[in-house]
C-alpha cells in the first residue's frame, strides 16, 4: 500500500473537494492518502496556516478557492516548494464563463447561501424525519416520494439522501402478515417505489443486526427461507400496484437514490410538472 499526504483546501465546507478527491482516488489500487482537511480558508492568515501544514507534511494539494488573492498565496507557496497544487473548479468555471459569456463572481461559499433552495432542502429533511418508518402515513399524499420495502432494505438512509436534494421522501416498512394501509394504496400524488434486495444478502444483514443486539440469530426475521418468502411477497405487492422497483443489493445509497430521483423526474414529467431538486 502506497501512502501519501493529501491536502484538501476549501473556502467553504470542503464537501466538493472531498467528493471529487474520493471519486478519483477509488480508481487507483494500492494507494492510501493521509488526508489533511483545511476548511473555510478565506484570509491570508488562514492560508499561511495551511502552507505551514503543507510544509510539515509535503504532498499533493487539491483546492477549491475562488478568491484570487487567497488562492494566489497558496499557489505561489506550492510553486516555490515544488509541490503539486490543483484547482478542481477552474476547468468547469472557465467552460461556463466562456459558454455564457459572463464573468465569474468569485464569492466563497456562495453555494451555501440561505436562499429558497436551502430552505426547501431543510423542509424536505424535516418532513422525511417526521414520516420515517411509516409514521404519519395518513399524510402520505403530502410526500413527493414514498419508499416501501421489507426491513433492512435501506429505506431510511435512502430517504434522507433524497431529502437532502429537496424532495420530501417518506418510507413505509413491509411487515409479514400486516396489510398495507389503505392511504398508501390510494395515494395519487407521490411516486411510490418498491425497494428490494437479494434474500441471501438481506438474511446476512439481518443476522448481523441480531448479533449486534445480542438476540437469537436463527429467528424467523433472519432465516433465509423466511426472508426469501418475505421478499417474494413484497415483489408481488409492488407488481399488483404497478410500483417501480429498485434493487439495492449491489447499489450504494447514492446510486439507489440517483435511480429513484430519475424515476421521480419522469413521474413529474408525466404529470406536466418540473422537479425542483438541489444539484448533487
Residue ranges for the known binding site for ADP are 149-156
Question: How far is residue 238 from each of residues 46, 139, 196, 204, 249, measured CA to CA in Å?
Answer: 55, 20, 10, 23, 17
Q: Contacts from 48-56 at CB under 8 Å and sequence distance 24+?
A: 48/73, 50/7, 50/9, 50/74, 51/77, 53/7, 54/7, 54/78, 54/81, 54/83, 55/81
Strands (E), 11-72: 31-38, 60-64
* Cα 228 to Cα 236: distance, rounded to the nearest angstrom: 12
What is the rounded distance in angstroms from the CA atom of residue 75 to the CA atom of residue 81? Answer: 10
Question: What is the Rg, in whole angstroms, of the alpha carbon atoms belonging to the chain?
Answer: 24
Residue 61 three-state SS? strand
| CA distances (Å), origin 118, targets 111, 258, 276, 279 | 9, 20, 12, 11
Cell of 157: 438512509
Known binding residues are: 149-156
Amino acid at each position: 500500500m502506497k501512502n501519501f499526504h493529501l491536502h484538501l483546501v476549501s473556502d467553504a465546507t470542503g464537501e466538493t473537494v472531498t467528493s471529487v478527491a474520493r471519486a478519483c482516488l477509488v480508481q487507483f489500487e494500492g494507494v492510501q492518502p493521509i488526508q489533511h482537511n483545511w476548511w473555510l480558508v478565506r484570509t491570508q492568515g488562514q492560508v499561511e496556516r495551511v502552507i505551514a501544514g503543507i510544509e510539515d507534511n509535503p504532498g499533493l494539494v487539491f483546492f477549491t478557492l475562488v478568491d484570487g488573492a487567497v488562492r494566489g498565496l497558496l499557489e505561489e507557496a506550492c510553486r516555490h516548494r515544488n509541490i503539486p497544487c490543483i484547482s478542481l473548479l477552474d476547468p468547469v468555471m472557465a467552460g461556463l464563463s466562456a459558454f455564457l459569456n459572463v464573468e465569474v463572481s468569485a464569492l466563497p461559499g456562495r453555494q451555501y447561501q440561505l436562499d429558497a433552495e436551502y430552505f426547501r432542502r431543510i423542509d424536505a429533511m424535516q418532513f422525511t424525519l417526521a414520516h420515517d418508518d411509516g409514521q404519519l402515513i395518513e399524510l402520505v399524499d403530502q410526500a413527493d416520494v414514498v419508499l416501501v420495502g421489507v426491513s433492512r432494505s435501506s429505506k431510511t438512509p435512502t430517504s434522507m439522501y433524497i431529502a437532502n436534494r429537496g424532495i420530501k421522501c417518506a418510507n413505509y416498512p413491509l411487515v409479514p402478515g400486516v396489510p398495507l394501509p389503505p392511504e398508501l394504496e390510494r395515494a395519487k400524488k407521490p411516486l411510490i417505489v418498491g425497494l428490494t434486495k437479494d434474500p441471501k444478502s438481506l438474511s446476512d444483514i439481518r443476522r448481523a443486526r441480531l448479533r449486534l443486539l445480542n438476540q437469537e440469530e436463527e429467528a424467523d426475521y433472519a432465516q433465509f427461507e423466511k426472508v426469501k418468502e418475505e421478499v417474494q411477497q413484497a415483489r408481488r405487492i409492488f407488481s399488483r400496484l404497478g410500483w417501480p422497483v429498485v434493487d439495492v443489493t449491489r447499489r450504494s445509497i447514492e446510486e439507489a437514490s440517483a435511480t429513484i430521483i430519475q424515476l421521480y423526474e419522469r413521474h413529474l414529467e408525466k404529470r406536466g410538472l418540473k422537479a425542483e431538486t438541489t444539484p448533487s
